[in-house]
């Protein structure tokens, strides 16, 4: 009797302990779940690549490797201007969008170089970047002189020929102390400062040279302020600038990252921020307007540099960056209504994909800053959103570009089974064995046959608001690719190809 009672009591204690342990485990699990919901773990080292985005990234990177095959006739004494990249389907070198291409490509490598390396695209991207920065260095022969254009667009646009066959004149346009061009000088400074970080460990001498040019150009841009498209009206037809303050803040921010010099930080967060920051007013990131990019780039300082995060102005940058993000999230109370029915950000008929791709790139960056810093959420008029919401938005824009759209068309040429066949691009449209001069080539523009050469990696302009696309070589509004769009797409795909923590410092 006694023995039986002791045995039953012992079993009862065991059962009680099991119940208590289970309850404790449930509490721990609940606490852990709450903790994970509020402060997610950073993703760590790169994971396995997503095949779809890896394939698309390889395709997109190939477009930047086409470089410049023109035997350049324009040159400076002891300076070779044969490198650099054309802006689109013509044979023009416009330094304003080209420098932006280099800045974005540098930013991509700095943030996602480890992910690019996983799919063997880091070295090609670095080669493409150096092809541009070699040209930019040679375009800056003196402290206060910068050559900003190679070629005459009016003459160029009267010809339809291959770059290796062109014979039209290649005049140069420069800015200097008498003819100022703050925005293009500042953007070039940003490009060189960012690129100096890319090459810092692999080629310190080249990196130092880039940084020297960046500092000189920033001083030139700031001291001799003036709009390049006002002082050189002929460029306004092609790449008109709507202001130079954004480029000054953008360049100062990149120089701060490249040097750690407090002077550049003070420039970006001092009275110039009051003049040009436009805080509280979200804008679209593009070759013309760098404010949203600057806000995200300075948010990086807020996320990862505790010494600087107490700055009120820095917090204004971050708040405005979050306002940009809130405008992108489709379910946010402040979501932009500028979208197609299928959810693509849509701002302009001409080169429509420029804005959604750039917006998605910034969203991926901001999402990864949140993850790496274990920041739980952003708040949009009282509603909270996680890093995963931003990534989901970025994926929606990317997948649309790659074929998940009403037309079932990939706007990235060479990716998928259905992509544009009549890209507005001279080199793609003329057979390689054709013997054509400036005027003879027009028949290939008007030809009903698909392009004989696939412009692999080209990102065309994109759909109309009603989500239709007219695949015609004469439809330059939709069918012309641009190198600066390609650079942003490379950045976006690099951020999505796998997951990893972003570095907390570029240096």
Catalytic residues: 424
Rounded to an integer, what distance in angstroms lies between the CA atom of residue 41 and that of residue 20? Answer: 29
Token digits of residue 483: 């190198």
β-bridge pairing 93-94 and 383-385: unpaired
Rounded to an integer, what distance in angstroms lies between the CA atom of residue 471 and that of residue 484? Answer: 21
* CB-CB neighbours of 19 under 10 Å: 10
Q: Which secondary-structure segment (H or E) carries 58?
A: helix 51-64
* CB-CB neighbours of 463 under 10 Å: 25
Count of helices and strands (H, E) across the chain:
20, 5
Rounded to an integer, what distance in angstroms lies between the CA atom of residue 290 and that of residue 87? Answer: 18
User: Residue 374: helix, strand or coil by DSSP?
Assistant: coil
- Cα–chain center distance at 32: 36
Q: Which secondary-structure segment (H or E) carries 359?
A: helix 354-373
Q: Find tokens 């063997």 and name the residue.
A: 120
Rounded to an integer, what distance in angstroms lies between the CA atom of residue 371 and that of residue 375? Answer: 6
């Amino acid at each position: 009797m006694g023995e039986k009672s002791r045995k039953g009591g012992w079993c009862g204690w065991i059962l009680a302990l099991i119940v208590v342990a289970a309850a404790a485990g449930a509490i721990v699990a609940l606490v852990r779940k709450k903790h994970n919901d509020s402060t997610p773990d950073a993703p760590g080292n790169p994971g396995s690549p997503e095949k779809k985005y890896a394939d698309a990234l390889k395709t997109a990177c190939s477009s930047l490797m086409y470089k410049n095959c023109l035997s350049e006739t324009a040159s400076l004494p002891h300076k070779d201007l044969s490198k650099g990249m054309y802006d689109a389907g013509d044979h023009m070198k416009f330094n304003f969008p080209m420098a932006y291409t280099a800045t974005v490509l540098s930013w991509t490598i700095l943030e996602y170089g480890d992910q690019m390396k996983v799919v063997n695209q880091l070295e090609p991207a670095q080669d493409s970047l150096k092809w541009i920065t070699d040209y930019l260095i040679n375009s800056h022969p003196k402290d206060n002189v910068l050559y900003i254009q190679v070629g005459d667009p009016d003459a160029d646009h009267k010809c339809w020929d291959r770059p290796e066959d062109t014979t039209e004149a290649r005049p140069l346009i420069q800015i200097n102390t008498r003819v100022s061009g703050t925005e293009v000088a500042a953007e070039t400074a940003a490009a060189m400062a960012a690129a100096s970080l890319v090459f810092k460990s692999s080629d310190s001498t080249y990196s130092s040279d880039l940084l020297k040019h960046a500092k000189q150009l920033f001083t030139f841009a700031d001291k001799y302020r003036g709009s390049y498209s006002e002082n050189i009206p002929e460029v306004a037809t092609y790449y008109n600038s709507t202001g130079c303050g954004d480029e000054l803040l953008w360049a100062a921010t990149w120089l701060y990252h490249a040097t750690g010099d407090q002077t550049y930080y003070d420039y970006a967060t001092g009275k110039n921020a009051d003049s040009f920051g436009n805080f509280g007013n979200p804008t679209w990131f593009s070759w013309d307007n760098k404010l949203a990019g600057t806000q995200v780039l300075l948010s990086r300082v807020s996320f990862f540099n505790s010494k600087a995060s107490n700055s009120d102005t820095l917090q204004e940058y971050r708040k405005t960056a979050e306002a940009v993000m809130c405008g992108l999230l489709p379910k946010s109370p402040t979501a932009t209504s500028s979208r197609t029915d299928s959810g693509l950000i849509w701002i302009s008929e001409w080169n429509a994909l420029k804005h959604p791709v750039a917006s998605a790139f910034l969203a991926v960056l901001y999402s990864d800053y949140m993850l790496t810093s274990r920041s739980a959420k952003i708040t949009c008029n009282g509603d909270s959103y996680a890093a995963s919401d931003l990534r989901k938005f970025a994926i929606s824009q990317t997948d649309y570009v790659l074929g998940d759209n009403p037309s079932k068309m990939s706007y990235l040429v060479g990716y998928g089974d259905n992509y544009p066949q009549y890209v507005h691009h001279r080199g793609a449209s003329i057979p390689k064995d054709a013997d054509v001069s400036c005027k003879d080539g027009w028949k290939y523009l008007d030809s009903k046959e698909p392009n004989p050469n696939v412009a692999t990696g080209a990102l065309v302009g994109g759909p109309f608001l009603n989500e239709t696309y007219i695949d015609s070589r004469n439809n330059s509004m939709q069918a012309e690719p641009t190198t600066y769009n390609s650079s942003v797409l490379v950045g976006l795909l690099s951020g999505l190809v796998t997951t990893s923590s972003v570095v907390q410092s570029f240096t």
